[in-house]
Amino acid sequence: DAKTTQPNSMESNEEEPVHLPCNHSTISGTDYIHWYRQLPSQGPEYVIHGLTSNVNNRMASLAIAEDRKSSTLILHRATLRDAAVYYCILREVPGNQGGKLIFGQGTELSVKP
């Protein structure tokens, strides 16, 4: 399984943008890049995913490097409720081993008022 590397922790100020980086240099051509976040004592929550092109949704944006060896999750205006552990995960194409997700350590984001 291809691995991802993320910083252990990051800090942000409320209402400022946050850029969470992820390196995945061994990504294969069919791996999707997924981001989840987890609040304390809760199950992870899907944030966004992409394959090659940049993606936007109501929660965040995902910027994917042209060579796909890195990506960045962008929270446009951080709020206190965005404080969580953010996981960058490579998902195998569904149908290959069930499309399981392999979670790494994630980045713990703290947001200061």
**Closest distance between other proteins and the C-beta of residue 54, in Å?**
16
Task: Choose between 12 and 34: whose C-beta lies nearer to other proteins.
Answer: 34
Q: Report, in Å, the least distance between residue 45 CB and other proteins.
A: 7
**74 CB burial (10 A radius; 0-12, 13-18, 19+):** middle
CA pair distance 34, 55, nearest whole angstrom? 11
Our CB check for other proteins shows the closer of 87 and 109 to be 87
Binding site for other proteins (CB under 8 A): 32, 34, 36, 41-46, 49, 87, 91, 93-95, 97-106
**How many residues are recorded in the chain?**
113
3 state DSSP class of 106: coil
Rounded to the nearest whole angstrom, what is the least distance from the CB of residue 36 to other proteins in the complex?
Answer: 7
Residue type for position 53: S
In angstroms, what is the minimal distance from the CB of 101 to other proteins?
6
Q: Which is nearer to other proteins, 39 or 65 (CB)?
A: 39
Looking at beta carbons, which pairs linking 60-66 to residues 24 or more positions away fall under 8 Å? 60/35, 62/33, 62/35, 64/33
